[in-house]
Amino acid sequence: MPKKVAMIGTGYVGLVTGVCFASKGHDVTCVDVIPEKVEQINEGKTPIFEPGLEELLLNARKEGRLEATLDVASAIKKAELIFIAVPTPSKEDGSIDLSFIEEVSHTIGKTIREVTDKKTVVVKSTVIPGTTEKVVGRIIEEESGKKRGIGFGLAMNPEFLKEGKAVEDFLDPDRIVIGAIDSESFNEVKALYEWAEAPILETSPTTAELIKYAANSFLAMKISFINEIANYCELLDVDVKDVAQGIGLDERISPKFLRAGAGFGGSCFPKDVAALYSHSKQLGRELILLRSTLEVNKQQPLRTVELLREEVGDLSGKTIAILGLAFKPDTDDMREAASIPIIEQLIKEGARVKATDPIAIPNAKKILSHPNINYYDKINDVLKEADALILVTEWDEYRQLSPSDLKSLMKGDVVIDGRRIWNPELFHKHGLRYRGIGLGKKKN
């Protein structure tokens, strides 16, 4: 049975969720406060780049199953399910700012005071355990004069979408988690996912909130773990790739998220781990593994600069080429990208930086601007005059670069592989001084 859904917030998560629900036959109204965004969506254009999303949006618009509006009250009134997908930005201490969540909860409460039908409110934003019940539920009760479970339903339904694979992840999920206050709220949300074959977990809202944080924290911890092992491997002249393969074949460990490198970035891992850690401290039960996960990740990008210094010595006056700026390939997202601390450190040590990225340069320029940083679209231009290069983001086109090309284009011969995409022996054979994260010197 198609459901009527209001999706409040058309950021990354809200838009992907709204469009995908519409693609499964539900009637979706996307709400945003930015008029240009609303217009764009109604024209069938996505304000973000996400493979497969625009096709689904266009189709949903054609079939009349999705519209965008600035009018939040009318969207709420006509919906059976109201999703909250607004941002939860980080504060200085790592905790999250709930002001958008609170604002939307007030609006929902005031609006449902005026209606007679029972609606279900669903939190999709990533929020600290307890928020759905203690903040969203409480505000809606106060504003609407209705009791949860009686006057309105309440649930938390976390997202597990990777940037660049969000549509795929949504339409073919590993699991669906629905944290509901009662079985009626659970069934309402479950009805949206009739098409999914994945297991559906029924939990409390607080459990669902924690599952989201625990999942991201575990994956981030796995990366920091292999990065620590990588740094240790360098001292033993052992290749971390061999170790990752050796442990990854154990089904309990799995080979995924065991790629050592310059550390994790993006809008989720750093923020979510910091938020959960900050909350645990607030509750007086500090999650020590999370603190270590963040500490390792803070140091990890700088490991590339250390390797560089070991080969080049004093960096003052040296020209360093940076290949890749985005926090991972196939995105222009620069949030918490490893390239930021790396370039800042190079500049601090007096180096000149020539940087390139297939699509992230415009966003990088907003964050990294200094007379000694220059950006180039073409790889060849970046390599010219370079004393050394650091590979920071493993774009496919960089994998194809041959050591002989590098050798002929660069002034110097030092290559630091921050993501371990190249074959050390091949590079060595071509007379390049190749160093990689998690690879001892002897292997070179």
Q: What is the contact surface with ligand UGA in residues (CB under 6 A)?
A: 159-163, 216, 219, 223, 257-259, 261, 264-266, 268-269, 327-328
Catalytic residue among 20, 30, 233, 268: 268
Least spacing, CB of residue 431 vs ligand UGA, in Å:
29
Least spacing, CB of residue 127 vs ligand UGA, in Å:
12
CA distance 59 to 23: 8
Around 31, how many Cα atoms within 13 Å sit in the side-chain half-sphere?
Answer: 22
CA distance 185 to 190: 9
What 376-385 contacts at long range (C-beta under 8 Å, 24+ apart), as own/partner pairs, is 379/323, 380/409, 381/354, 381/356, 382/321, 382/322, 382/323, 382/354, 382/355, 382/356, 383/321, 383/409, 383/410, 384/409, 384/410, 384/411, 385/319, 385/354, 385/411
Residue nearer to ligand UGA on the CB measure, 153 or 265: 265
Least spacing, CB of residue 391 vs ligand UGA, in Å:
12
- 268 included as an active-site residue: yes
Least spacing, CB of residue 218 vs ligand UGA, in Å:
10
Beta bridge partners, 353, equal 320, 373
Least spacing, CB of residue 295 vs ligand UGA, in Å:
16
Residue (of 87, 86, 69) closest to 78 by Cα position: 69
Residue 320: enclosing H or E segment and its boundaries? strand 319-323
CA 254 to chain centre: 21
CA distance 12 to 192: 19
Least spacing, CB of residue 161 vs ligand UGA, in Å:
5
DSSP string, 33-49: S-HHHHHHHHTT--SS-
Residue nearer to ligand UGA on the CB measure, 121 or 268: 268
CA distance 186 to 85: 18
Judged by DSSP in three states, 415 sits in strand
Residue nearer to ligand UGA on the CB measure, 67 or 168: 168
Ranges assigned E (strand) in 19-145 = 27-31, 66-69, 81-84, 119-123
Least spacing, CB of residue 341 vs ligand UGA, in Å:
13
Residue nearer to ligand UGA on the CB measure, 49 or 160: 160
Beta bridge partners, 178, equal 202
CA quadruple 337, 271, 331, 416: dihedral sign: positive
Structure token pair of residue 306:
């250390």
CA distance 362 to 375: 9
Least spacing, CB of residue 335 vs ligand UGA, in Å:
9
CA distance 444 to 436: 9
Residue nearer to ligand UGA on the CB measure, 272 or 387: 272
**Residues ≥6 apart with Cβ < 8 Å to 197:** none
CA distance 387 to 406: 11
Query: Which residues are tagged catalytic?
Result: 268
